[in-house]
Amino acid sequence: MTFAASNFRAFLASGARKLLFAGAVAGVAFGLASCSTFDDWNPFAPAKYKTVIEPDVPASKVYDQGLAQLANGAPQEAAKKFTDLGDKFPDSDWARKGLLMTTYAQYQAGDYDTCATTAERYVKLYPKSTEAAYALYLQASSYYNQIPDISRDQERAAKALETFKQVVHDYPDSEYVEDSKYKIQVTSDQLAGKEMSVGRFYLNRRNYTAAINRFRNVLTSYQTTRHAEEALYRLTEAYLGLGITDEAQTAAAVLGHNFPDGQWYHDAYNLLKGGGLAPKENQESWISKLYHAVVPS
């Protein structure tokens, strides 16, 4: 053995003894500081924390528990139970049922934003299931129930309209089509009302071009709403304000063709008459092409 090797081994032996001694001292000091007696150190004492093993609950029972919470008027608690089905029984038919019932429970709880998100997830996962139409209908209804008055942003109204249209398009034979069509009309009227409100704002400030764009949106996107009649009259006003008499006469002529007995046509007729004009349709006008109306001059 070389000198270097023997000294290295001696060093290790000496160091080990020092480490063992220091560890023993530190251990005793720690024990005395933290324990009143050595009995508290007993390594054979019972475990302080016990492992609790929850019993397995069948999926059918979890589902029934969720239904019971719904029946007891606790939809938020029901939603938690139905969510458990997906967590505990993934990739099963119980997970699908649980997701649908979670959507319903969230809707009943008035948690519309969460409901819309959950419903969207259901439709993406199970688009061919027999309940997909219902989930999509719940999504649309969640947006619909949050539509504010026309003075505020209409993002949810736009989402409701889009989703109700999807119900009608994707599931034309479902029982939710009739109500969806009704709410499409109501929502379209709401969105048209918002456009009219903004258009009048611009018109009152003689920003005719901006006003025309808003009224045009009403006729292009929401022509079947009650606002279309006024939009044609406002176009007559706005085009006269710009001095574009040809389009003003066309707007009034189309108004008379579609709403001949209405007050708005009466007002448009008098407005043109005051300027020495009369309703007259230019068939090349975007208004005429939109309505496909031919009115005798």
- Per-residue 3-state assignment (H helix, E strand, C coil) for 84-132: HHHHHCCCCHHHHHHHHHHHHHHHHCCCHHHHHHHHHHHHHHCCCCCCH
Q: Is the pLDDT of residue 50 over 70?
A: no
What share of the chain has pLDDT > 70, as a percent? 80
Given a cut of 80, is residue 104 above it in pLDDT? Answer: yes
Q: Is the pLDDT of residue 103 over 80?
A: yes
Q: Does residue 86 or residue 72 have the better pLDDT?
A: 72
How much is the pLDDT for 6? 44
Model pLDDT for residues 187-222, shown as the tens digit of each residue: 999 999 999 999 999 999 999 999 999 999 999 999
Is the predicted pLDDT of residue 8 greater than 50, yes or no? no
Topology of domain 207-291, per CATH?
Answer: 1.25.40
Both ends of the chain: CA-CA distance in Å?
124
User: Tell me, what's the pLDDT at 115?
Assistant: 98
Q: Do 60-123 and 207-291 fold alike per CATH?
A: yes
Domain ranges of the chain: 60-123, 207-291
Given a cut of 70, whether residue 31 has pLDDT beyond it is no
Cα-based distances in Å from 97 to 90, 103, 133, 165, 235: 11, 10, 14, 25, 52
Percent of the chain with pLDDT over 90: 77
Which of residues 119 and 33 earns the better pLDDT score?
A: 119
Q: Which CATH class is domain 60-123?
A: mainly alpha
Structural tokens at position 227: 């606002």
